[in-house]
Amino acid sequence: MLKVRKVDPLNPDYSIIREASEYVKRGSLVAFPTETVYGLGADTFNGEACLNIFRAKGRPPDNPLIVHISGINELDRVAIDIPEIAISVARKAWPGPLTLILPKSPDVPMEVTAGRNTVAVRSPAHPVALELIKVSGTPIAAPSANKSGRPSPTLAEHVIEDYANDDVDMILLDAGPTFFGVESTIVDVTRNPPVLLRPGPFTLEELRKLFNTEIVVPEFAKGLGEADVALAPGMKYRHYAPRTKLIVVECEDYDSLIKLLRDTVIDYLGKKLRVALLITKETANELMKYPEINELPVIILGYRGNPYTIAASLFDSLRNLDKLNVDLGIAEGIEERGIGLAIMNRLRKASGFFIVKCKDVSNT
């Protein structure tokens, strides 16, 4: 039977953490908050328990998990032949929302790494997550605590919504939404120069300073297509998707974006489709001037001038789209700068790469 326990994110009750750790030790699944999204965790060294994560999520077996450790002192439990650059970066960035791809230790089961000889590792910057790892006495393998392909959970109710009737044994509830709202940045440090596999809270600009080198950014890291092989979560398969069909509208020029959003909405309304908008506060102020649009349901993503507000609400917005009983969601694209790259990665993947750009209109 599913147990739900509420914990203070700043001062977690040790007795509740100890109870959750007992579940981990005996091979059960525990959902817990991190600073990025909620994770669905199991003992890293228990291959069968980790397989149960895949079963509970409906996760493809070739999509690896991330191993969460309490600090850099545990790194050699899960990784070998660790590059010096990884040690240097981890000392600066951990605990925090940065995952490193490293050569895996023989002790890490192949179930965790989807059969690969590399492992994704991070140390989460959340008191509940860190205490759970420490008290459990083992690194915890955990992807996001959502059904595979669905928007990641940033609120405890998202986890309950996805797993109320499934094989999750315990959920640790936080007091509110997770801090960043998008999953960790993932960098492959087994290659030189390092390769960005998934953008996240550590931005490309920050990574270049952290690593003191150029970072390779493949097209799939921008959310433009999929990788052939998933070395880390988020590289392959459709992710973050609402059940409702989603289109992303992108323009470099803001005035052109407003026009393209309006034209796209009118086009689909003309096809007798029920449409909802996922847009920023600034854009809502512009689009609501048009009478054909101002009666449509609108989900405010955040502020275009502060993209961190968009990141924090993004997955909740995508889940809320499914509650509106519409045929189509039309989402506003933002600039790929700072955390905007992570936002666009998630939006593009959530749409199944259904993207409308200004140049698409000019070429028709």
Q: What is the mean pLDDT of the chain?
A: 93
Contact 223, 314 (CB under 8 A): no
269 domain residue, yes or no: yes
Residue 227 has a CB neighbour count (10 Å cut-off) of: 17
Q: Is 31 helix (H, G, I), strand (E, B) or coil?
A: strand
For the segment 181-208, the average pLDDT, to the nearest whole number, is: 96
CATH code of the domain covering residue 270: 3.40.50.11030
Quote the crossing angle between the two packed helices 14-25 and 127-136, to the nearest 10°: 50
List strands edge to edge, sheet with 245-250.
298-300, 275-279, 328-332, 245-250, 355-357
Structural domain ending residue among the three candidates 222, 237, 258: 222
| pLDDT above 90: percentage of residues in the chain | 81
pLDDT (average), residues 52-71:
93
What is the rounded CA–CA span in Å between residue 280 and residue 309? 10
Average pLDDT for residues 219-245, to the nearest whole number?
A: 79
**Which pLDDT does position 236 carry in this prediction?**
59
pLDDT at 52 > cutoff 70:
yes
Range in 134-143, 153-162, 242-251 the model is least confident about: 153-162
- Could you give the CA distance from residue 359 to residue 83 in angstroms, rounded to a whole number? 43
User: From CA 355, how far away is CA 125, in angstroms rounded?
Assistant: 34
Is 151 part of a structural domain of the chain?
yes
Same-domain check for residues 106 and 254: no
Q: Are residues 78 and 204 in the same domain?
A: yes
Question: Residue 304 falls within a domain, yes or no?
Answer: yes
Q: Do both 155 and 17 map to the same domain?
A: yes
- 275 and 155, same structural domain? no
Residues 50 and 113 in one domain: yes
DSSP 183: P
Examine the domain organization and report whether 213 and 255 are in the same domain.
no
CB-CB contact of 230 with 148 (8 Å): no
- Look at 130-134, 144-148, 256-260, 300-304 and tell me which has the smallest mean pLDDT: 144-148
Is residue 231 a part of any domain in this protein?
no
Supply the pLDDT for residue 239. 72
pLDDT score of 176: 75
pLDDT at 361 over 60: no
Q: Which residues contact 68 (CB under 8 A, 6 or more apart)?
A: 34, 39, 41, 121, 122, 123, 124, 129, 133, 139, 140, 141, 142
Q: Is residue 314 part of a domain?
A: yes
Tell whether 68 is covered by a domain: yes
Residues 341, 260 share a domain: yes
Are residues 214 and 254 both part of a single domain? no
Q: 């189509």: which residue's tokens?
A: 328
Provide the domain limits for residue 144: 3-222
Name the more confident of 157 and 236. 157
Report the pLDDT averaged over residues 50-70: 94
pLDDT tier at 363 (50, 70, 90 boundaries)?
Answer: very low
Number of compact structural domains in the chain: 2
pLDDT (0 to 100) of residue 144: 94
d(CA 50, CA 150): 20
Question: Which pLDDT score is estimated for 238?
Answer: 64
List beta partners, residue 326: none
d(CA 244, CA 266): 18
Q: Are residues 33 and 149 located together in one domain of the fold?
A: yes
Q: How far is CA 319 from CA 50, 153, 213, 244, 278, in A?
A: 26, 9, 38, 9, 11
CATH at residue 112: 3.90.870.10
> The tokens of 273 are what?
């489709």
């950014």: which residue's tokens?
A: 217
Report DSSP state, residue 254.
H
In a 13 Å sphere around the CA of 185, the CA atoms on its Cβ side amount to 32
Q: How confident is the model at residue 164 (pLDDT cuts 50, 70, 90)?
A: confident
pLDDT value of position 173 = 84
Distance CA 86, CA 32 (A): 26
Q: Is the pLDDT of residue 364 over 50?
A: no
On whether both 57 and 117 belong to a single domain, the answer is yes
Considering the domain architecture, whether residues 133 and 23 belong to the same structural domain is answered as: yes
Q: Using CA atoms, how far apart are residues 20 and 121, in angstroms rounded to an integer? A: 21
Question: Which among 222, 255, 290 is the end of a domain?
Answer: 222
pLDDT at 83: 95
- Quick check: is 125 in a domain? yes
Note whether residue 138 is domain-resident: yes
Task: Say if residue 187 is in the same domain as residue 97.
Answer: yes
**Residues 7-41 pLDDT 10s:** 988 888 999 999 999 999 999 999 999 999 999 99
Which spans in the chain are helix H?
A: 14-25, 47-57, 75-78, 84-93, 110-113, 127-136, 156-163, 204-211, 254-270, 281-287, 307-321, 340-350, 358-362
Q: What is the per-residue pLDDT across 82-115, written as a single tens digit (0 to 9) for each? A: 999 999 999 999 999 999 999 999 999 999 999 9
Q: What is the pLDDT of residues 345-355, one digit of tens each?
A: 999 999 999 99
**301 contacts 311 by C-beta, under 8 angstroms:** no
